[in-house]
Structure 1
């Protein structure tokens, strides 16, 4: 996610409270096994996600009435039980559920907060693969940050775009809404003629029936729920291939076409350059979605898998940032939201490397400027104030990048800037040869998987004789402004 021009695009204050509540548990039924937990114990969002099963695949069939802002949908979820279950839970915010079936049989269900509690007839056996079909409808509701930033199903004059980080996907489909449970996806999206529906992966078909058009998309590589998109609107579409043969799908709202042209024309160049740094591009296609959002929407960009979504024309640095996320965040996904710096620190560092590539500041110069900024007052203006640039409540030294502490910090300044500074200090410690090997080998080892900060620290330590203990202790987890030397 890119937080410019906003300070952040993270969870809402109201949402944070709701998701910090104790996880829901379902009532007992006449079947053996346990009640699957509601919540995975995430350090920042403990009620997000659900225990007892692992999703393998989502099949989403969405029919959206743009004029009426009404969604009619079914979700077929293929999962494997991790234990004997008498019930399990899915995350779904709002929307009316009309029926739930498990393996073709009607199942009991109830609602509690953002949890849909499902009680399959006879329960489920450990290691069993089962299919849950949920029929639902209603007007999807976006979520709002305390500073006005949007999340979830965000309505636009000609459709909607999706912002899923950290919890927004549950506003438009039921699922195991946590980055630790990745799955493949198929999307069937029906919209009025003249509109386009865009999802992750590759377009399989486009069929016109009467006054509606149905788009089918297939996303074959595992994906976290927050990275799923179903953006609907009127777009100029360009489909082509990079010189290396990678399929590209670029959709731009006509109102944003002129400003987007230059940065998006560099997309093949950026992918090639990042592939040289980070290893082979991890997915079977790439692209971009640029929407024209109403003035009320304060939001900027999200690294939706294969096609980042931009809420307006991006600059080139933002395209670099969101495409770097395809390796760091989308392919290698953090186990919990506490480790978001593994996404944002790397994507920010990619921006620094790109600026150097373009003849600008080096990453060390970027580091030096951030470290020296605000000496004595926290914000660099010399007036004694402390703001987001220095030591204040939202400043880069306000909390450690590796321990945001509370939900509203998940995409705040330290996660980005201090996260990138950790990487520059790592580079200084291990040297360029080892550092750039780490940039390639880390996403290769955890390709399409999940990893956390401790795994990254161990991964780095295995590749150098330098003792990195104090470096990570001070720069990743230390409170306040660290000493210059590690």
Structure 2
């Protein structure tokens, strides 16, 4: 979720784990960051005898066709693994402007899904200086504000496995999304806060930037000695040479690009565990005393929260967990996978919300951004369930308060199954989303409702799912015709009066 509350995400849905290619070595001194993008190629795009006019090669599309972000993501390939080798120089001591310098090499392993004579990667605000495909230099151009267009030679057959290496860099600033909120690689006084939802990953590495193309990740992030770079997954190594420290992280679980992070600052790392799950927390040493005390108390509840949510959604789905609490702010919290990100303080309710996203949002991601309520409604309701578990307000009390809002309240004007890109993180998506789930629970009963929660994650883990998928599963599990219910709660503006 994006919470400002806390914010909390087309290719085909991904399958099982993918083996990453070998990573580039760590950078010593001030080295160039290299991001390696690997695409998976699918069956060769050869002309079929029944369709002799069909071209053998064509251009991959410049977007996935998501109505909210038409140029986010790309067509023609499926990324398997990103290996990001980054070097970052944070802002100088001057108070303004906040500008850093990022140099990177991205090595991308991918599989093609058609014969390609060219393909696109999303890259915004940074400049590519070289591109190689399978070790051979490739022609490339940067078109518009978002598209890196690569022309490989030889062309790629349908179903080919390819390795794409992009060297790039530039000045980092403080990008904003369509609603004006900070996102992507946000330069801070002592480093960067990296929070990508929805299409901000392209502000720091070349990417197929849509949740329907999940991949594994590895990171080597080189920063001035004394700073800490925190990314997803497990800390694999840390080396310091000539005043520069390289932090190496391995994230072997499939992940949507918007959930990746490489946040940099004056952090203290703390290791613990939640059962068998390693927990790595990063607390900014510069946090005010009150924020630090609150955050430490909240993070101490992680094992209990994880046990509670496992009872609803099934086993925790990733290799590690943890939180980043930065003394700078992007104005919200975000469920960056395995390492939830908080601005200045981690409150208990927000931490519960972000942890719940591990199952509903991260393991199961939205097929289109219009389906964002499936992230935020479930996480908001999970937050309510945790509060009730802790002897706070009950879910029934929260539902009654929701339904007491006047019918004239603009809150009810948002259609939560299609809120529009500007209102993706509107209050209604969270609270009416949670209300929808409570109303559904009342309609189908606790047994069917909790079976639905568990089956939702089990059936769509490591992939994406849509509102239509959810509606179908709810009817399957409950044995009820729920068309009228979902029309009223998800697809119609106005306060529900009967369902």
Fold in common (TM above 0.5)? yes
**Where in structure 2 are the equivalents of 1:442-461 lying within 5 Å?**
442-461=456-475
**CA RMSD in angstroms, aligned pairs only:** 1.6
Equivalent residue for 2:446, pick from 418, 422, 432:
432
Q: Is the 8 A contact 2:279 2:320 kept in 1?
A: yes
Question: Match for residue 323 of structure 2?
Answer: 288
Aligned counterpart in structure 1 of residue 65 of structure 2, from 35, 38, 41:
41
Query: Hey, what's the Cα distance between the residues in 1 that align with 2:199 and 2:117?
Result: 26
- Is the 1:9–1:150 Cα contact (8 Å) retained in structure 2? no
The equivalent of 2:238 in structure 1 is: 206
- What residue in structure 1 maps to residue 95 of structure 2? none
Look up the match of 1:87. 118
Deviation at 1:374?
Answer: 2.8
Segments of 5+ residues of structure 1 without an aligned counterpart are 11-30, 379-389
Residues of 2 paired with 1:479 and 1:323: CA distance?
Answer: 30
Q: Residues of 1 paired with 2:431 and 2:385: CA distance?
A: 14
Give the number of aligned pairs: 442
Asked if 1:54 is matched to 2:78, the reply is yes
**Per-residue deviation, residues 358-389 of structure 1 (Å, max 9, x unmatched):** 112221221110111235xx4xxxxxxxxxxx
Question: Match of 1:400?
Answer: 415
SS of equivalent residue, structure 1 residue 125 = coil
Cα distance in 2, alignment partners of residues 365 and 463 from structure 1? 26
User: Counterparts of 1:277 and 1:174 in 2: how far apart (Å)?
Assistant: 36
DSSP 3-state at the match of 1:478: coil
Shift of 1:415: 1.3
Counterpart secondary structure, 1:186: strand
Q: Which residue of 2 aligns with 1:383?
A: none
Uncovered stretches (5+) of structure 2, i.e. residues with no partner: 10-54, 93-99
Supply the distance in 1 between the matched residues of 2:372 and 2:128 (Cα, whole angstroms).
32
Aligned residue among 255, 260, 275 for 1:223: 255
Alpha-carbon displacement from aligned partner over 1:72-120 (angstroms, at most 9, x marks no partner): 1100111110000000000000112110000000000001121000000
Q: Deviation at 1:236?
A: 1.6
- Higher relative CO (Cα under 8 Å, sequence separation at least 6) belongs to 2
Change (3 A) 1:452 1:147: closer
| Preserved contact between residue 148 and residue 298 of structure 1 (Cα < 8 Å) | no
Q: TM-score scaled by structure 2?
A: 0.86
Q: Distance in 1 between matches of 2:195 and 2:299?
A: 20
Q: Any residues of structure 2 matched to 1:70-85 within 5 Å, and which?
A: 70-85=101-116
Equivalent runs, 1:344-359 vs 2, <5 Å = 344-359=376-391
Q: Does 1:471 align with 2:471?
A: no
Q: Does 1:265 align with 2:279?
A: no
Contact preservation (8 Å) 2:130, 2:137: yes
Deviations 1:315-365 (A, max 9, x none): 100000000000011000111101001100000000111121111222122
Partner of 2:148: 116
CA distance in structure 2 between the partners assigned to 1:146 and 1:94 by the alignment? 16
Say which SS state the counterpart of residue 150 (structure 1) adopts.
coil
CA deviation map 1:7-64 (0-9, x unaligned): x789xxxxxxxxxxxxxxxxxxxx9510111011102111111011110100000011
Work out which of the residue numbers 91, 96, 120 in structure 1 matches 2:127: 96
Equivalent residue in structure 2 for 1:170, among 202, 221, 231: 202
Among 403, 413, 418, which residue is 2:432 paired with?
418
Work out the CA distance in 1 between the residues paired with 2:152 and 2:333: 39
Does the Cα contact within 8 Å between 1:70 and 1:140 map onto a contact in 2? yes
Is the aligned partner of 1:304 residue 2:318? no
CA deviation digits over 1:392-430, x for unaligned, max 9? 2xx2x12211111x2101111221111111111110111
> Whole-Å Cα distance in 1 between the matches of residues 179 and 330 of structure 2?
8
Q: How far is the alpha carbon of 1:198 from its aligned partner? A: 0.7
What is the Cα deviation at residue 466 of structure 1?
2.1
1:64 aligns with 2:64: no
TM-score of the superposition, structure 1-length normalised? 0.88
1:94 touches 1:141 (CA, 8 Å); kept in 2?
no
Q: Distance in 2 between matches of 1:327 and 1:110?
A: 38
Bigger drift between 267-276 and 282-291 goes to 267-276
